[in-house]
Structure 1
Amino acid sequence: MQERITTAGILIQNGKYLVAKREEKGSIGGLWEFPGGKNRYTETEEETLKREFQEELGLSISVGPLIHTHDFTNKDTRYHLKAYLVSAPMIEHLDLLVHSEFRWVALEDLSSYDFAPSDQEIVKTLLAARNNQD
């Protein structure tokens, strides 16, 4: 079985999380996600996130700490999903190149969105981290 790394960037501004809805095509079409994507074999995970945010949203980011990781299988490939906190200047505009819309969502509202299965695990981690702080 082939193995790949895939990444997700968790961008928080004014206490809300950036989520984006994939266009209605592909295996996760119409589902919400934390932006990111598949690692090219010569890239670091940080380089992957920076490239994906630039390609998909026209946004330059800085990559912070790893906050979540889990593995899943899709079409005979084993993916190692790694989610990092990312930061960016205050966002006024995003270029939606593979998404149909984006939203800023409060942590407690994330579970009401129809996330891609792999990103549902990230939501669980974010909610558990909040509960551990309470």
Structure 2
Amino acid sequence: MNYVSGKHGDVTGFSTRAMNLLAAIADSGQVDRVPAVYGAILEAQPRDAAGPAPTDFALLEIASTQGVRLSAELRDAVESGRWNELVQRANDAASSRTLGRTGTPLRYVPTVLVEGRQFEVRDDGTDVARLEAAIRQSD
């Protein structure tokens, strides 16, 4: 999924470009590197959707620091946006469905469900305590 879509202010195409990179890494046979690169991308993403986002060159550098071999084909896939259409189709498909049997639509990433109810991730320092409370209430 391109987790910060245009409707959320992604003016740089960063989320689509980042997911394109992950698809290119997987396609190059280095799928074992995807989780580490994903984590590094999350660290490098702009805190504000309109903020400065890593360039394609910077995304490739992030991948390299996580042990990805940067072949000419992988570089071309990133620079050409080879997987952008797939990323958008996956995003559209996931966004149009409900989560499992909950009836809850996917509205944002990350999404956490507790007993079928969507837990609001706020990233304001209250998440852990609120999540623990929600889990206790569900017992």
The two structures share one fold, judged by TM-score above 0.5: no
Higher relative contact order (CA 8 A, sep 6+): 1
Higher strand residue share: 1
Larger Rg: 2
Higher helix residue share: 2
| TM-score w.r.t. length of structure 1 | 0.30
